[in-house]
Structure 1
Amino acid sequence: MLKTHFWVNLLTISSLGFWLFLKSETFHWYLTDENIYYLLARNLGFATLPYRDFFYANPPFLLILLKISGFLFHWQVAGLRIIPIGAVLVSSWSIHRLLKRQIGLLLAIPLWIFLFSYISLRASTHATGINVTLMFIFLAYLFVREGRTTWGAVAFSLGLLTKFYSITALPALLLGVFLVGGPDRKKKILVFAGIVGVSQILLAVFGTLLGGKAFWEMNLWYHLAKPESASNDFVAVFSRLFDRNVMSFLVFLLCLAFGGGSLLALKRQGKPLRPPSEIRAWFWVGGVNFLTVLLFLAIQKRVFDFYFLLFLPSIIFLLGGILWFGTQIEWGEDLRKRFALHGGLLAISGFLLLQPILPMNWRVMMRDPQSSPVAYWDHERRNLDELVEWGKKLDFPPGTTVFGDSATTPLFVLGTDFKIALNEADTNSMRFRAGYPPPEEFIQRLEESRVNMLMVRTSLRADGKETLNGMFLIQEFGEYLKKEFQPAASLEMNDRTKVYLLARKPVNE
């Protein structure tokens, strides 16, 4: 048994080591929404608070974590990456603890799905909150499994204080408390629900005191008012994710075949097919979590790729239960067949999951560029460091105010002496299309503040023409840009993306 534990621990540590090696490519700035969170976290303070002083459509805990990390590491990208990287490591440790005793070395497959699925690997160092949310959810499951209901409730409450979509795990967690709670299960359910309820009441009171009506507008009504998007409906996003994560689906099907074959072998050996209570709990919890996330996605007007990561707890538990059957087969004194079967399953799973990670010309499968339009390494190399370096060389007075594209402007301000206009880093087009606030009202505020500059990001279309991105596709902002501003500097970041810094036109124009 000790020898088995050693190999299981070694396999987990080796997997995490390889994951960290891959993520060593991430210590640079990205072209993502995480830059919004970084700038909001840096500006966070007693004089600049969410809801009251700037738009923030989430609970505040993620900003607090990023504020601490940024302060400790002087807002360097490597230090800020500690939050999502640390969250993934804690989640991996939780998965290891949850599955190790029951399925041994086979826990590597659910762990690899968590670490190396395309969508998971790609998002695992983005500081937008999904990694921290999953960390608290996995910790909550672990604490519940170990009978530490209070700690489970605290962990889950912290998840809700990070992102509200953590709520998708609540039914499965309550079911978990019921299934493993023993004679005191009713009391434990009340304790769990009570702690979670109190945390949300405190958040509501704190948010209302801080932002009043704005807290509810940003955290409730805005999400309900988000405009629909054909490219972001459930079917479109699932189709896109299936193409990029097809190897993970194949691994899941392989495990299903392994589990089905194991059931037949157990039946031939005359062994009971009904799993013990803990394994049955995995199936119940995984199934309920799956249905809850599916319902959550079905009611969303816009579905984002990272929402599908909320299925990961379901996949982990369901795979764990399926693989358990393979650990119950009697092999007699000759264990070579077991090693061959389990080792072969691990080898094939690892081979499949490696395919999207490898450069295109190294792959055995997925060699058609259309089947994997955005390779992992291509994504990691979407480097924005040059934007910061370019900004430092520009000759403008310190404190010059700038406003614009939500993916680039916050990072530009974070790395230079420019100042974000109106403290508004989150300028995603959805908030303006939803009316929080209407574009005309926001433009009036910009004019009252006499914002000095705008930052615009353009993309090159297939016909060779440049097109605006984000908020400047909204008619009012596009007209405001053309009427009041003119190009002052530009940076061509790659063959398809360009950034413009625009200054106000002279008054006589």
Structure 2
Amino acid sequence: MKLKGLLGTTVIFLIYRWMTLTFRHGDGNVYLYAGHVLTQGILPYRDYVFADPPILPFVIGFLDVVTHRVVLAYLFLPIVLEAANALLIATLLKRWKSNFYWLAPAVYLFSLPILRTSDHLQGSQLTVFFSLLGIMLWDTNKPLLSGISWALGCLTKLYLVPAYAGFLLAAYLSKRKNLIKKLLIGSLATLIVILLPFLLLAPQNFFRDVILFPLLRQAEFSKLTILGNYARDAWPLLIVGLIGILRLPQPIIVFPLLVLTIFFLLFKDIFYIYVVTVHWYVVTLCVLLVGNLKKKWMQWGLVGAFLIYLGWSLYQYQTKFIDYSRFDNAQAVAAYFKKQPDTLPLYGFHELTPLLALLADRRVYNNVVDTHPQLFATHMLDRDTISQSASRDGVYLLYLEQLFPDGSRFRSLDGTFFSKKIFDQSCTHQTDIPISRSTDDVVIGIYRCSSTPLSR
């Protein structure tokens, strides 16, 4: 019965997320294009700026080959990963003799932080998967494989490194520290095998993109706001989880959580989806505490409180967050480009352009797939050089714009990834297409840029 409930909860989550799945604009679209061009021999670091380790593009590239570029399959990946994460949490809890292991998938999958982030392809879900798998493999006396899994997680997102450090500390303090050598061998071998080709082909670019850029970039959002948003979304679980830490000091869980939390408190530039990486630790501690309570009325009272929280989470998601960054007109924009007689590449807002290039079967200009303002502010990319060459060669330039009743428009990130001067000289407005079917004032502004004189 418990197994059926556990699996049933996971299936319900998958069905619910499939029903709400849609295209969205966001940083995750950069990974989609990076994975696609990887199958064509176009490599990150060597051929274009890519400010992340390479594992996620490898995974997307594999899906690109297997599905023959069914983009929605890529977008379903983080949802499937979260379902797998929930099952891994339950499996760990069962190994640790928790009678309430079956509760974990529901508390994890339908909590507001996971509902908000589980359909955004950012790599955090894959990072959590590898860390969970690493702990599972360690717990089943497979230190070499555990080291490999942790290394794959760190090569997905570098912010997992502090959690791995906490895990190593817990392993060292355990009665099994004689296995740490195999753990480290697995991690080191994985790092060498995956990174060596990039270090041989473009060592300076790799160091600049993956190591230097995160240290140079400035904070985009208030750290207190980001942490406060997570606390607001998960406060009942945080309270129970804190009690769980005090009553059940499980080092293999607590040490990675504490070190990762300290890192987020100290690092200057964090995002909500980064912070949600700690969520599985919190849920695990909550469920462990339920099973550790002596009186049944306390156990089931806490289960009831969790169910109330999950109902609140679903309500909050449905009313406040489900439409966030929706891009359900993506196919309509792609259809516009498919109708054009030219083969000009696309260039523009990084949250939109890579996805549209995939859907419209067009190139991103010079593979400048990520036009995040921080890349220009830190001189990783040169705006004027790109603008000059793009206008000379010819591109479609894409902006996210707000239209106003008086006919004026606000162009998001105007002047950050394309020179205003060159824009005025070389670009003509082609059309506006609403980003969503539910609104007509937020549009994708499409411009054709060429040094050849154009009629206006």
TM beyond 0.5: yes
For 1:158, the aligned partner's letter is: L
Partner of 2:231: 242
Partner of 2:154: 160
Partner of 1:222: 213
TM-score, with length taken from structure 2: 0.89
Tell me how far apart the structure 2 counterparts of residues 59 and 256 of structure 1 sit (CA, whole Å). Answer: 32
> Unpaired segments of 5 or more residues in structure 1?
1-5, 264-274, 332-337, 361-371
Partner of 2:327: 384
> Is 1:310 aligned to residue 254 of structure 2?
no
Pair 1:12–1:355, CA change in 2 (3 A): same
For 2:355, the aligned partner's letter is: L
Which of 405, 425, 435 aligns to 1:483? It is 425
Partner of 1:435: 379
The DSSP-based 3-state class of the residue aligned with 1:311 is helix
Tell me how far apart the structure 2 counterparts of residues 478 and 121 of structure 1 sit (CA, whole Å). Answer: 39
CA drift at 1:467: 2.2
Give deviations 1:289-322, integer Å, cap 9, x for gaps: 2322223223333211111122124314432443
Tell me how far apart the structure 1 counterparts of residues 404 and 235 of structure 2 sit (CA, whole Å). Answer: 33
CA drift at 1:164: 1.6
Tell me how far apart the structure 1 counterparts of residues 99 and 76 of structure 2 sit (CA, whole Å). Answer: 28
Which of 342, 353, 356 aligns to 1:409? It is 353
Tell me how far apart the structure 2 counterparts of residues 57 and 98 of structure 1 sit (CA, whole Å). Answer: 33
Tell me how far apart the structure 1 counterparts of residues 42 and 350 of structure 2 sit (CA, whole Å). Answer: 19
Paired residues of 1:356 and 1:376 also in contact (CA < 8 A): no
> Is 1:453 aligned to residue 396 of structure 2?
yes
> Is 1:27 aligned to residue 21 of structure 2?
yes
Which of 301, 305, 318 aligns to 1:344? It is 301
Which of 35, 48, 54 aligns to 1:54? It is 48
Q: Percent identity over the alignment?
A: 19
Tell me how far apart the structure 2 counterparts of residues 237 and 488 of structure 1 sit (CA, whole Å). Answer: 38
CA drift at 1:205: 2.6
CA drift at 1:475: 8.3
Give deviations 1:155-204, integer Å, cap 9, x for gaps: 11111222222212212321343355x4xx33311221222123334444
The DSSP-based 3-state class of the residue aligned with 1:375 is helix
> Unpaired segments of 5 or more residues in structure 2?
none
Counterparts of 1:112-123 in structure 2, within 5 Å, are 112-123=106-117
CA drift at 1:215: 1.1
For 2:66, the aligned partner's letter is: L
CA drift at 1:468: 2.1
> Is 1:253 aligned to residue 239 of structure 2?
yes
CA drift at 1:80: 1.5
For 1:325, the aligned partner's letter is: N
Partner of 2:75: 81
Tell me how far apart the structure 1 counterparts of residues 149 and 417 of structure 2 sit (CA, whole Å). Answer: 44
Tell me how far apart the structure 2 counterparts of residues 256 and 61 of structure 1 sit (CA, whole Å). Answer: 33
Counterparts of 1:221-300 in structure 2, within 5 Å, are 221-229=212-220, 232-243=221-232, 245=233, 248-253=234-239, 280=249, 282=250, 284-300=251-267
> Is 1:504 aligned to residue 449 of structure 2?
yes
CA drift at 1:501: 0.8
Tell me how far apart the structure 2 counterparts of residues 390 and 305 of structure 1 sit (CA, whole Å). Answer: 29
Pair 1:86–1:391, CA change in 2 (3 A): closer
The DSSP-based 3-state class of the residue aligned with 2:429 is strand
For 1:250, the aligned partner's letter is: P
Paired residues of 1:103 and 1:320 also in contact (CA < 8 A): no
Pair 1:212–1:451, CA change in 2 (3 A): farther
For 1:429, the aligned partner's letter is: P
Instruction: Give the RMSD, CA atoms, in angstroms.
Output: 2.9
Which of 66, 70, 88 aligns to 1:72? It is 66
CA drift at 1:133: 0.8
CA drift at 1:66: 0.8
Tell me how far apart the structure 2 counterparts of residues 251 and 413 of structure 1 sit (CA, whole Å). Answer: 41
Partner of 2:289: 322
Pair 1:302–1:127, CA change in 2 (3 A): same
Tell me how far apart the structure 1 counterparts of residues 238 and 266 of structure 2 sit (CA, whole Å). Answer: 26
Paired residues of 1:357 and 1:377 also in contact (CA < 8 A): no
CA drift at 1:463: 11
CA drift at 1:101: 4.3
Paired residues of 2:400 and 2:442 also in contact (CA < 8 A): yes
Aligned length: 450
Tell me how far apart the structure 2 counterparts of residues 478 and 290 of structure 1 sit (CA, whole Å). Answer: 46
Partner of 1:369: none
